[in-house]
Chains A and B, each alone.
Chain A
Amino acid sequence: MEIDPFIFRLSIFILSIFIGYYVVWSVTPSLHTPLMSVTNAISSVIIVGAIIAGLSGSLENVFDIPNIFGFFAIFLAAINIFGGFLVTQRMLQMYKKKKKDK
C-alpha cells in the first residue's frame, strides 16, 4: 500500500517542532524580543499562499473575489516581512560588547 503524502508532511511538521524546541531553548534570554520579531517575520512566509491566490485570476478579470483576498493577504504579509526583519536588524545592531578601552 502506498503511503499518503500527508504522512510525509506530518513527519516534517513533527520533526520541525522538535527542531524548534531545541533551537529555541538555546536562544539566550537577552535576545527573546528579537526572537519574537524574527519568528513574526518568518511566519509571514504565508505570503507564498497569498501570491498563488493573487495570481489565480483570469486574464479578463484580475479582481475576482478570491484574488482580492489574496492581494490583501500579500499586503498584510509584506508589512510583516519587511517590518519584522528590519526591526530585528535594528535591535540586533544595538547589542554591543563592552568596549575594551573604556
Chain B
Amino acid sequence: MSANLSAIFYLVSGVLFILALRGLSSPETSRRGNFFGILGMTIAITVTFLSIGNFSSGFIYVLIFLLIGGSIGAFVAFKIPMTAMPELVAGFHSLVGLAAVFVAISAFLNPEVFNLGTVGNIKLASLIEMSIGAAIGAITFSGSIIAFLKLRGIMSGSPITFKGQHYINLLLGLSIIVLIFYLCKTQSDSIFWGIIAISFLLGLLLIIPIGGADMPVVISMLNSYSGWAAAGIGFTLENTALIITGALVGSSGAILSYIMCKGMNRSFFNVILGGFGITEQSSSNKGKEQKPVKSGNAEDAAFLMNSASSVIIVPGYGMAVAQAQHALREMVDKLKKNDVRVSYAIHPVAGRMPGHMNVLLAEANVPYDEVFELEEINNDFSNADVAFVIGANDVTNPVAKTDPESPIYGMPVLDVEKCKSVLFVKRSLSPGYAGIDNDLFYRENTLMLFADAKKMTEDITKNL
C-alpha cells in the first residue's frame, strides 16, 4: 500500500474518532458514535498491517500479543462492576502512558524502521517529539497508578504532603527539559533512560498530595496527558490518525478538568498543588459545639416521602460506596406507584469521576430524562417537598453560600435546604471531605437518618 493511500486512510480514521466523540452529545446517538470509534480503530490497524506488507517474521507474534491483550481487555470490560469505573479508567490511562513510553523507546533504539534516521544520528525534530512523548507518557503511567491505588483504596485517599514538595516537582520538571536539550546534543542512551526515569518519579510525586475527592480532576487531567503523549508519538511517527486523536483526547481531558474545578470553585493549580482538606480540619474542630440534631428512622422517612407530592434525590459518592443505586431505584419505583413525582439532582463533582453518578443510576435502570444537572434543577428545590440526600455531603452545604471564611465558599451547591424537609442519609455526623461541618445537619427542616445508605433505603422501601 502506498504511503499516500495509507495516509488518507489514517485521516479517515481520525475523522471517525471525531464522530465518535460527537455522538456522545446525546444518549440516542452515542451508540452509533461508539461504532464509528471501533470502525476508525479497525481501519487504522488494518492499514498499518497492509502498509508494512512484511508478514513473514514477527507477524504471528504481533497477532498473539494483540489477541492476548484484547481478550484481557474484553474480559475486564464485561466483569467490572460499574462502581469501579473510576479505577478502571485510571488503570486504562496508565496503560496508554506506558504504551507511549514503549513505542518511544522502540523508536529511539531502532529509528531506521520509522524513517527517523539512524542510531546516534536521529533527526532533531523526531528526537524532541519522541522524548516529549515518552516523558508525558511516563508521567501519565506512574500518576495513573497512584490514582488507581487511591481510588481502589489500596493506598489511603488522604493527601501525602511534605516540605519542599512543590520545589522538588519543579526541579524535576526543569531537569527533564534540560535533559531533553542534552539528548538532542549528544544522542546518548543514558540521557534518554534518565528522562524516562525522572518522568516516572515526577508522575508519582505529582499525584500523591492530591486527596481522594479531588480525583475527578486528577482523572480528567491524566486523560488529557495520555492524549498529549499520544500526539507526541504521532508527530514522531508522522501519523495523522495519532495526531488528531491525541489532540482530541488532550483537549477533552482538559475541558473535563476545567468543568470539575469549576464545580468546586477552585483553580486548577489549587487542586494540583494538593493538600486540600488538611489545614482546614484543625480550624473546624475548634468551633465544634454540641448543636441539636434531629434524627429519625426509616418509618419517619417513609411517612414523609409518601405524603410528599415531589421528591428530589441527591446522590453522592457514599451511594457508590454502599452500592445503594439498585435499592434506591426500588424505593423510587414504589414512590412513583404512590403518585410521588421523583427526580434526581447531580452535582458536577459528585462521585470520583466526571459523570460517575449518572452511570450508576443508568445501571440501576433509572431513565436518563429523570436525572438533572445542578443548573437545571436547582430552582426546583424550593417547590419540592422532600430532598433525599444519599451519600452526598459537601455539595449540599449551605455554608458555601453564606460564610466567606469557609474553604468551600463560592462553590456551587445544591439548594437542598430550600425544600420543605430534608432527609439526610449518613452514617455519622462526621464532616465531609473538605473537613468542615455541614450546616444542613442542624437545620429545623432536616431529619438525619443514621445508617448505611443501602440498608436505610431498603428499610424505607419496606415501610412505604
Contacts and interface: CB of A to CB of B under 8 A. Distances in A.
Contacts of A29: 259, 346, 348, 354-355, 358, 373
Contacts of A80: 73, 92, 95-96, 99
Given A9-B235, A59-B57, A89 B31 contact: yes
B354 A38 contact: no
Contacts of B174: none
Q: Is the interface of B mostly helix, strand, loop or mixed?
A: helix
Chain B, interface size category, equals 35 or more
Q: Is the interface of A mostly helix, strand, loop or mixed?
A: helix
B278 to A, nearest CB: 28
B293 to A, nearest CB: 33
Chain A, interface size category, equals 35 or more
B351 to A, nearest CB: 9
B231 interface: yes
A88 B66 CA distance: 20
A84 B92 contact: yes
Contact of A92 (B31, B80, B92): B31
A53 B54 CA distance: 12
A43 B235 contact: no
Interface in B238-258: 238-253, 255-256
A5 B41 CA distance: 25
B370 A27 contact: no
A49 to B, nearest CB: 4
A35 B24 contact: yes
Interface stretch (B12-20, B279-287, B396-404): B12-20
Given A36-B223, A65-B109, A77 B25 contact: no
Interface in A51-98: 51-59, 62, 64-67, 69-98
15 contacts: A20-B247, A38-B20, A38-B24, A42-B249, A51-B49, A51-B52, A51-B62, A53-B114, A59-B56, A73-B103, A79-B92, A89-B31, A92-B30, A95-B27, A98-B370
